Chains A and B, each alone.
Chain A
Amino acid sequence: MKNPRMTPERASEAASLLQEYLGVRLDPVIADLKHAMTLDNLASQAVDQQSHVSAKPVLTGSVELVNDGVRQVAEGVEAESTVTMSYVEQARQRVEQAVNEELEKYGRAA
């Protein structure tokens, strides 16, 4: 049912405001949210990948879990896995660093 107080002029003005709200406010912030989520997914994948690499030696029974980290006890496996983990760790740290720098910038501005 139509709102009796909604004259064509008012409807037109409301539509104009909504259009502005969509284009000026919602679209940019949703695009930024999407980008932030993509970065977060990449960071998660880097961590997952690291877990996968860490888990590989577990299958051979050559490592044991210590708290939430992995302590490697087998020689040979340790050297190979350290190189791979180092690469993944670097990727993860780069993403974290980019996010932290942005957060610090905001913190200083606030």
Chain B
Amino acid sequence: MAALPNLSLPGLPSVTSVLPKLLPRNPDQRRIDAYRQLLRREAKMGGQLFGEIPNGHRREFFCLDEHTWVWHEEWIDAHGQHRAVTTHYVVRPNGVLKTRGDGNHQPVVGEELRNLYNAAKLYRQNVEAQLASLQA
């Protein structure tokens, strides 16, 4: 389909931003949207696996792909500043790397690795329970 001209008027949303909401989506797009919704839901569930979330914090933990787990946490610090930390755990058969967006990769070992494994197992159990409830 040819690109649509931007016909937006001041203060109104553009045609291109509104059209996808009006026109029926194709099955692929619908599936992608559903998958994103699923991930958001799993991320919220995953954030609750590590105990009580401190007041004012938002925590997410989810499996991004077959190599990566993501931990995301946001909060307001004592000075009223918004803080956010996203940690990627890159899993390989011979080891796990932790990255925090600053280019540094740290190996995950010992208790942290065991905690990550246990969290992943719990996460899987919860997803499986959701699946069972849908199929019941």
Contact = CB atoms under 8 A, between A and B. Distances in A.
B124 interface: yes
A44 interface: yes
B66 interface: yes
A18 B120 contact: no
Interface in A26-60: 26-30, 32-37, 39-40, 43-44
Contacts of B92: 32, 36, 102-103, 106
Chain A CB within 10 A, most for which of B31, B34, B95, B107: B95
A32 B116 CA distance: 12
Given A22-B127, A22-B131, A102 B94 contact: yes
A30 B63 CA distance: 10
Contact of A14 (B38, B90, B113, B123): B38
A11 B130 CA distance: 11
A15 B131 contact: yes
Given A36-B96, A103-B95, A103-B107, A21 B135 contact: no
A70 interface: no
A45 to B, nearest CB: 12
A36 B42 contact: no
Nearest to B42: A21
B110 interface: yes
B95 A39 contact: yes
Contact of B116 (A19, A33, A103): A33
Given A26-B63, A99-B107, A33 B134 contact: no
Contacts of B93: 32, 35-36, 102
B66 A24 contact: yes
B128 interface: yes
A80 B94 CA distance: 33
A76 interface: no
Interface of A: 11, 13-15, 17-19, 21-22, 24-30, 32-37, 39-40, 43-44, 98-99, 101-103, 106-107, 110
8 contacts: A15-B131, A17-B34, A17-B35, A22-B131, A30-B121, A30-B124, A32-B91, A103-B92
